């Protein structure tokens, strides 16, 4: 397991280098080894403007090496106020080289999924969502849960072609087989999606260790009922571990409190902040450090 970054509460961040627009966010990343694995091969990065989860695979420690390489490279984009898709492509390509060097010769090879979000480059506030593999990004907004990414997996292909139903996919013998990864000496090919960046939005970035144990209804329930990003992340991971914890479980939850002058008053009230404080720009709190683990 490798962690890069810190958890943050009500942080104001510049949207783009050439823009005066500020975004107010809270975010929290949590990971757990689960109940059946000896090591945690998930890694994550929370270094604004980029947030991502990587779920490693391979024999022995190879998966941990692969996921660590990806988040180390993506963390290099932290602090940049504008991140382009080409920047992400370059970092993932560098990570493939790192994986080959760090993992050495392994019987099963070494690779990892990766999924995440970063501030977009468009003038209108957007998220750039990216993914390779079956880790996922969800949006919870106005009571509705949406899966933003599409899995690169055998069962997803079977669903798309009508060969099986989503219900059958849950118990399919190839449920863990992915069709795209970072590593295995192949060029990484992420999918990119643009998503509006709006006040009141809650995003979930997670490994499949969470989605194996929680249904969409369960995920929606916990995102809807937890007041803060930290509460939601901790609850989701704990519930996944308690349900069976068959795999490593990692979740990052991001709350969008304000975009420029547009404020989500609901999130302020749920956090116990009086609406009278909205005119005070000093409502932000200091970030909570997260130890870097490798």
CA nearest to 119, candidates 16, 202, 25? 16
CB 135 within 8 A of CB 66: no
Count each helix (H run) and each strand (E run) in the chain, helices first.
8, 15
C-alpha distances in angstroms, 267 versus 3, 22, 33, 174, 226? 27, 17, 31, 40, 11
Read off the tokens for 200. 């009141």
pLDDT at 163 over 90: no
* Choice among 84-93, 165-174, 206-215 with the minimum mean pLDDT: 165-174
Helices of type H across 80-228: 85-103, 154-160, 166-169, 208-211, 216-225
Cα of first residue to Cα of last residue in the chain, in angstroms, is 5
Q: What is the pLDDT of residues 176-230, one digit of tens each?
A: 678 999 998 889 999 999 999 999 999 999 999 999 999 999 999 999 999 999 9
Average pLDDT of the segment spanning 65-92: 95
**b/e map of 20-29 (b: 16 or more CB within 10 Å)?**
ebebbbbbbb
pLDDT at 283 over 90: no
- Report the alpha-carbon distance of residue 103 to residue 100 in Å, rounded: 6
């Amino acid at each position: 397991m490798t962690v890069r970054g810190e958890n943050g509460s009500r942080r104001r961040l510049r949207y783009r280098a050439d823009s005066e627009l500020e975004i107010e966010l809270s975010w929290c990343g949590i990971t757990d080894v689960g109940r059946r694995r000896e090591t945690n091969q998930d890694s994550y990065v929370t270094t604004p403007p980029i947030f991502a989860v990587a779920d490693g695979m391979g024999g022995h420690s190879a998966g941990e090496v692969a996921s660590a390489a990806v988040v180390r490279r993506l963390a290099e984009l932290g602090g940049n106020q504008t991140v382009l898709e080409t920047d992400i492509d370059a970092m993932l390509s560098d990570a493939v080289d790192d994986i080959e060097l760090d993992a050495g010769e392994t019987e099963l090879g070494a690779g990892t999924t990766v999924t995440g979000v970063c501030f977009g480059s468009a003038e209108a506030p957007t998220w750039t969502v990216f993914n390779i593999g079956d880790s996922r990004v969800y949006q919870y907004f106005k009571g509705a849960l949406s899966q933003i990414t599409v899995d690169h997996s055998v069962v997803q292909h079977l669903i798309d072609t009508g060969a099986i139903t989503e219900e059958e996919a849950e118990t399919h013998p190839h449920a863990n087989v992915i069709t795209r990864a970072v590593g295995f000496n192949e060029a990484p090919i992420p999918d990119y999606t643009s998503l509006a960046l709006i006040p009141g939005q809650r995003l979930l970035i997670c490994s499949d260790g969470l989605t194996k144990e929680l249904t969409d209804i369960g995920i929606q329930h916990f995102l809807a009922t937890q007041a803060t990003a930290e509460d939601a992340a901790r609850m989701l991971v704990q519930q996944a571990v308690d349900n069976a914890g068959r795999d490593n479980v990692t979740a990052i939850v991001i709350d969008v409190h304000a975009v420029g002058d547009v404020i989500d008053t609901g999130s302020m009230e749920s956090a116990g902040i009086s609406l009278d404080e909205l005119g005070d720009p000093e409502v932000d709190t200091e970030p909570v450090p997260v130890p870097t683990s490798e």
